[in-house]
Amino acid sequence: MFAAYVTVTSLTALFNAIAAYTYLSGHDYPKAQADMKRVPRSWLPILGLLLAAGALGLLAGFAVPLLGILAAVGLVLYFIGAIIAHLRVGSRQLIGGIVFLAFAVASLVLNLAAGSQV
C-alpha cells in the first residue's frame, strides 16, 4: 500500500508540476484552452499557481500528511471545475481532465489510507 501511495502521489505531483509550468511559462496550449472555454487569459497565472500549489502540497504531504490530503482535495476540485468548464462550452475533449482527476482522486484515497495506517 505504501509503495502505491508514494508512486501515485509522486506521479500526480509530477503531472501537475508540468501542467503548472505550461500555464506559467506562456505556452500556447493553455492559451488555446482558455480561449476555447471562454476563460479570461488573465486567469492562466492563477490556474498555474493552483496547479503548482497542488503539486508541492502533495510532496509536502510525505512529511505532513494533512498537507497532502488538502492538496489532493484541492486538485480534485480543480479538475472537477475544469471538466465543468469544458462541458459548459459544449467541448467533449474531456480525456485529459478525466485522467488528471483520476490521479488526484487516487492520490486522495491513497493519502487517506496511508494516514489511517500510521
The amino acid at 59: L
C-alpha 37/C-alpha 108 separation (Å) is 27
**Interior/surface letters 82-103, b for 16+ CB within 10 angstroms, e for the rest:** bbebbeeeeeeeeeebeebbeb
The amino acid at 74: G
- How confident is the model at residue 81, as a pLDDT? 96
In this predicted model, which residue has the larger pLDDT, 101 or 118? 101
* Cα-based distances in Å from 59 to 14, 31, 38, 41, 80: 10, 27, 32, 28, 21
In this predicted model, what pLDDT tens digit does every residue of 74-106 receive, in sequence order?
999 999 999 999 999 999 889 999 999 999 999
**End-to-end CA distance of the chain, in Å?**
12
Confidence tier at 1 by pLDDT (50, 70, 90): confident
pLDDT of residue 21 exceeding 90, the answer is yes
The C-alpha cell of 101 is what? Answer: 482527476
The C-alpha cell of 25 is what? Answer: 511559462
In this predicted model, what pLDDT tens digit does every residue of 64-74 receive, in sequence order?
999 999 999 99
CA atoms within 13 A on the CB side of 7: 4
The amino acid at 109: V
The amino acid at 82: A
Give the other-Cβ count within 10 Å of 68's Cβ.
26
Does the global pTM surpass 0.85?
A: yes
